[in-house]
Amino acid sequence: MKPAIELKDVHKSYGTQHVLRGVNLSIPEGKTTIIVGGSGQGKSQIIKHSLGLIRPDSGTVKVFDKDINAINKKQLKEVRTHFGVLFQNSALFDSMTVYDNVALPLRERTKFAEEKISDIVHEKLEMMDVVGSDDKYPAQISGGMKKRVGLARAIVLDPKIIFFDEPTTGLDVEKSNEIYRAFFRTQAQLQYTAVIVSHDVPKIFKLADYVSLLFDGVMQGCITPEEFQLSENPAIKSFVRETMGELYSSEVEGLL
């Protein structure tokens, strides 16, 4: 299968901190790939490298077979039109209303008339169950709603790849379920490649086609959730044990 994104031997260090130590990862097109790992392991770094926001110290990052660190600004802009991102804290523009936030990519990137923009924005907002909050500012809506508005903004240009940076952090179970439902709905409709960075384990496994663990600056496998839970890889094994607890692992043992 053709990979949408391919990281090859990516190294990155900040001062004396060697965060990424030769990351190899290929993200298959049209599927949902989950990147898990402990806090501070540099999971978000992988997203930022894929977006070309950060340059690796060494190694290559390819998006649709293009090395995004070797192309010029214009081409990078072109590549980024295929991206949508849901940031960890939504990154909504707090001086703009909900409507303007979602409309921004359309206004800046397309030449659509205002009526058409309005149609698209309302369609996406409805898809996210955000109705009647057009004129509210991000500070006036709840955290879960912010995420959904952020997601609406991420899909407004119908991108091919969407990154989710900790989509459910800081939300209670009910709110995060809402996000997951919204995610399901939109992916079924728009057929995009999803890359989710999360530590909402094990719930997140239900969404995943592939799971990859970032441990010690290296990716450990990119395998299906079932394989992941049964893996003999010591790093994955200890991660599964730590996050899912004894109860879950005994179930796994039972399967064996």
* Candidate ranges 84-92, 112-120, 210-218, 226-234; the one touching another protein (CB under 8 A): 84-92
Question: Is-contact 232 241, C-beta < 8 A?
Answer: no
**Could you tell me the end-to-end alpha-carbon distance of the chain, in angstroms, rounded to an integer?**
30
Closest distance to another protein from the beta carbon of 150 (Å)? 9
What type of residue is 34? I
Q: Strand pairing of 58-63 and 32-36?
A: unpaired
Q: What is the CA radius of gyration of the chain?
A: 19
Instruction: Please report whether residue 93 would count as binding another protein according to CB under 8 A.
Output: yes
Closest distance to another protein from the beta carbon of 104 (Å)? 7
Smaller CB separation from another protein, 92 or 213: 92
CA distance 61 to 197: 18
Question: Is-contact 49 10, C-beta < 8 A?
Answer: yes
Give the footprint of another protein on residues 117-176 (CB under 8 A): 157
Instruction: Please report whether residue 51 would count as binding another protein according to CB under 8 A.
Output: yes
Smaller CB separation from another protein, 81 or 189: 81
Q: Which two tokens stand for residue 16?
A: 């004396």
* Candidate ranges 4-12, 104-112, 127-135, 244-252; the one touching another protein (CB under 8 A): 104-112
Give the footprint of another protein on residues 52-71 (CB under 8 A): 53
* Candidate ranges 90-98, 124-132, 214-222, 244-252; the one touching another protein (CB under 8 A): 90-98
Q: Which two tokens stand for residue 187?
A: 């992916």
Question: Is-contact 80 71, C-beta < 8 A?
Answer: no
Q: Is the torsion defined by CA of 91, 95, 101, 104 positive or negative?
A: negative
Closest distance to another protein from the beta carbon of 221 (Å)? 27
Instruction: Please report whether residue 190 would count as binding another protein according to CB under 8 A.
Output: no
* Candidate ranges 100-108, 179-187, 215-223, 228-236; the one touching another protein (CB under 8 A): 100-108
* Closest by CA position to 124, among listed 85, 151, 84, 90: 151
The H or E element that residue 67 is part of is strand 66-67
Closest distance to another protein from the beta carbon of 230 (Å)? 36
Site residues (vs another protein, CB under 8 A): 48, 51, 53, 77-78, 80-81, 83-85, 87-89, 91-95, 104-105, 108-109, 157
